[in-house]
Amino acid sequence: MLSPADELSFRLLGGSLKRVQKQYEAFVLSLNSTKAWAEEKGVTSFHLHFELGIDAMVRGDSFAAMDQFGMAKQLANSIEEKALALFNLLLCRENLSLPYEHTLKGLQDVLRETQSCLGIADQLLAFEQRTAFRTGEIAKIARFEPPKDRITQAHYFRLWVRSLPFHGHTAALAGDSDFEFFIQNQRALHQGAYRLRTLTGQLHPEDLRALRLSEAIDRLYLWTWRWLVNPELFPAKKILHVLEKIDLKRDQDRLTAEDAQMFRNTLLWLSLLGATPRERIQPLIDLFCAGSGVEFPILAQERLLIEYLNACRDGADIFANDLYDQLESQSTNDVLFAALARVVQRGNPSVAPPALRAFAERLVITLSAKRAPALGEILIDSARSTITLADGKLIRSRSFCMAALLLKKYSVVSAADFAHFCFGVRQYDSFCHDRNIVNLLARMKPVFAPELGFRMKAGRVIAEGTWNKVAFAEATPAMEQFAQDPAWHRFLESSETQTVSSPSARKATPAELLLETPPTALLGKSLSRRDLESELARPRSTTNRILKLWIKRRLVQKRGAGRLTRYTFPLRFKASTSSKEVRL
């Protein structure tokens, strides 16, 4: 008869086999059953906590994983087990942007005591390379000589970094001995085939299945830079394919600090050069990439460059000068972001580094593409969200530009479509949104008069007149690839839906959320405004708007005045049980 400790080991072995065979659901069921059995029997082991830690890491719960690996370290019966626990503790602390120097030193001390942890030592080499990349020490990665007798993660990461064009050690992979070694031995590396296709820029049917989020972010980041440098040879479709495979709702909590910052910078590049207003991207960045911990220097510099280019495009000279000074103060010989900023400032792409010269030319053309309107002409630039009048006056309004684009194509549109296209409204409500539409049309009338007029009637927005004196700035070919691709719009649409449904979306965007009808919990109650604000978990301004809507619909009775005002919720109407929300 097996002892409880032996039976625990037997149960864990069966579950581990399911994990190795990629039967993840069966593995989780087995692990939870084993955990409950161990608690009932009062037994534990290194392997139990280690498997629980692995499960937590897969789910993206680095805090829970860190606790489990800490327990595993205490229960380790050998140097190898202690090294395994310490290495995974290191990854957890890194993912959470917590100090990890003490854990790293402990792992290094353990590895010096044994030669039997070669796999962990190899993974530690890759970890050290990633750390060098984050701090911008590209030369350190370039000097690194990976092992010649076996394939490791360090081989892949070194090739990945060398493929990026924004540093002084970029190199073509074709004919490279390290790349040839990787090709010959990639089958022995975890996700080797996927990583090889990442380096070569190839898609494959196997890539349709779910993969680790970090692998997808690495591919997305590298391929975005390839598109930036050469959009003619590297089509935008490949980037969009990767974006469509990222389930933001599922993967939100799995983003490590590095993943979040690389994903943020990718979205900022696509917004800048993909003819997409920043307002459509920013809520997504706020929701999924905010609070990603301490900024890694190389990714922080890249973000500064993008913000500088945005400021140049928008004519914000003072802001652009400040950003340029910050870039110059952080510039290094390895990373070329400051060099790109100098090229744009001087308007001379010929001084750009060779690997970035074509990209610099496109940047200069894109950022200087503004033109003065012809005599008597109004120029609308949707990429910059600007309207230049015939007298040179500049109006900056995204909703204004979007309205003009829509009404130029369709002279009559529904108010719901107009509100969605111009304001991003997902669920149209005439009481909440019609006044916004009327206000926008009132602003547009004097600008386009007398050739054009706008009005709203019977739930429709109508444009009347001629557009002969209105011109629309054309996007560059690279921008057109994204602006016209349905896959890009599908990604934005799905992302907007997720930002609306997320509880934290209210913090990320100034739009207000209104409940259509009072929740069931309020029926029969008589509350003050302050009590109602607490019940709804909404700020005061939003609570006031909700009350106005409910009073108009006779869903609540207002009694008293001043501080004695009470809002009574009768039982005679059908309340909302689904808390359906609409965006103002």
The token duo for 226 is 């390839």
Cβ neighbours, 10 Å, residue 396: 12
DSSP label at residue 203: -
- The pLDDT of residue 501 is 45
Question: What pTM was computed for the model?
Answer: 0.69
Q: Does residue 291 lie within any of the structural domains?
A: no
User: Beta strand 557-559 with 394-396: parallel, antiparallel or unpaired?
Assistant: unpaired
516 and 571 share a domain? yes
Q: Lay out the sheet containing 412-414: strands in order across.
A: 412-414, 460-465, 452-457
Domain end call among 449, 475, 501: 475
529 and 579 share a domain? yes
- Measured CA to CA, the distance from residue 383 to residue 276 in angstroms comes to 6
- The pLDDT of residue 515 is 57
424 and 471 share a domain? yes
Q: Does residue 388 lie within any of the structural domains?
A: yes
410 and 459 share a domain? yes
DSSP 386-438: EEE-TTS-EEE-HHHHHHHHHHHH-SEEEHHHHHHHHH--SS--HHHHHHHHH
Cβ neighbours, 10 Å, residue 112: 9
CATH number at residue 559: 1.10.10.10
- The pLDDT of residue 233 is 85
Give the ranges where 164-245 is alpha helix by DSSP (H).
177-185, 192-200, 213-229, 236-245
459 and 389 share a domain? yes
* Helix (H) or strand (E) run with residue 118 in it: helix 118-134
Altogether, the residues listed in the chain come to a count of 584
Are 78 and 271 spatial neighbours (Cβ–Cβ below 8 Å)? Answer: no
Structural domain harbouring 532: 512-583
State whether residue 583 is helix, strand or coil. strand
Domain end call among 421, 453, 475: 475
CATH number at residue 408: 1.10.10
Q: Does residue 175 lie within any of the structural domains?
A: no
386 and 459 share a domain? yes
- Measured CA to CA, the distance from residue 406 to residue 494 in angstroms comes to 21
The token duo for 433 is 């949104």
Q: How confident is the prediction along the chain (584 residues), in pLDDT tens digits per residue?
A: 678 888 888 888 888 887 777 677 788 888 888 889 888 888 899 999 998 988 888 777 778 888 899 999 999 888 888 999 999 998 888 877 788 889 999 988 888 887 777 788 888 888 888 999 998 999 989 888 888 888 888 899 999 999 999 998 888 887 788 889 888 988 888 788 899 999 999 988 887 665 677 888 999 999 999 998 888 888 888 888 888 777 766 666 667 788 889 999 999 998 887 766 676 777 777 766 665 567 889 999 999 999 999 888 777 788 888 998 998 888 777 888 998 998 888 888 888 888 888 888 878 877 765 555 565 678 887 766 788 888 878 888 878 888 888 888 888 999 988 888 888 777 788 888 899 999 999 999 998 888 899 999 989 999 999 888 888 775 555 555 566 666 776 777 666 555 544 443 333 333 334 455 677 667 777 888 888 877 776 667 677 878 887 887 778 888 877 777 888 877 544 444 333 333 33
* Helix (H) or strand (E) run with residue 454 in it: strand 452-457
Q: Does residue 430 lie within any of the structural domains?
A: yes
Cβ neighbours, 10 Å, residue 472: 15
In sequence order, the β-bridge partners of residue 566 are 559
Q: Does residue 52 lie within any of the structural domains?
A: no
Count of the separate structural domains present in the chain: 2
- Measured CA to CA, the distance from residue 268 to residue 415 in angstroms comes to 30
- The pLDDT of residue 480 is 57
Residue the block writes with tokens 């040879």: 233
Cα separation of the two ends of the chain: 67
Domain end call among 429, 451, 475: 475
Q: Does residue 526 lie within any of the structural domains?
A: yes
- Measured CA to CA, the distance from residue 508 to residue 504 in angstroms comes to 7
520 and 469 share a domain? no
- Measured CA to CA, the distance from residue 469 to residue 452 in angstroms comes to 10
User: Beta strand 470-472 with 378-381: parallel, antiparallel or unpaired?
Assistant: parallel
Q: Does residue 518 lie within any of the structural domains?
A: yes
- The pLDDT of residue 508 is 32
Cis peptide before 450 (omega within 30 of 0): yes
Which residue from 367, 329, 330, 370 is spatially nearest to 345, judged by alpha carbons? 367
366 alpha-carbon distance from chain centroid: 24
DSSP 318-381: HHHHHHHHHHHHH--SSB-HHHHHHHHHHT-GGGS-GGGHHHHHHHHHHHT---PPPTT-EEEE
Which residue from 203, 274, 273, 212 is spatially nearest to 242, judged by alpha carbons? 203
- The pLDDT of residue 219 is 93
Q: Does residue 530 lie within any of the structural domains?
A: yes
- The pLDDT of residue 93 is 86
